[in-house]
Structure 1
Amino acid sequence: MWHPILSATEVEPWQWHLLDSGSRPYAIIVALEIKGERGYRAVTWAQHSSERELLGYYRSLKAAVEGAHRSYIAAHARQGPVNGKR
């Protein structure tokens, strides 16, 4: 079974880029420590960090990748009610 973590590429220690089917990055996951707690921060990919949007903070890499991938998929979906009903 495929999982979005398979699209994660470690670009430097503790930093992963999630890549789409064309090998273009769509999210960045970074391991971090805040007040003694370790976790992961997910942001959208952009060339400049000022253009990135926070997707969330997570306690595991798997959860961070899932959250970032869900956001990526949602960004490509048509907005509105289910099945186009109004």
Structure 2
Amino acid sequence: MSTYASQANSGIKGLLDVQKLAQRTITLGTRWDVMPNVALKAQWDQIHKPADSWGLFFTKDPSTAEAQSFLQNRRKVNVLSVSMDFVF
């Protein structure tokens, strides 16, 4: 690996390490074909965010007490999404 590529790789790794993006997600989904051209879909995600990580969540102002509490503590977030797809 060239010196430039090695330095770039080191810089990118350092940038990603500083961003604190660790999280783990468990997903369960299903699909039901209601009619030949209509599908009903549901998906549940449970996101586990460790302490000292933002995960993939964003805050308007990371310096607020609420944002710092979110960063410093473990969180479990549940997301349920339902959609209906159709072709006409």
Q: Report the TM-score when normalising by structure 1.
A: 0.23
Computing the radius of gyration from Cα coordinates, the structure with the larger value is 2
Higher RCO (C-alpha 8 Å, min separation 6): 2
Output the TM-score relative to the length of structure 2. 0.23
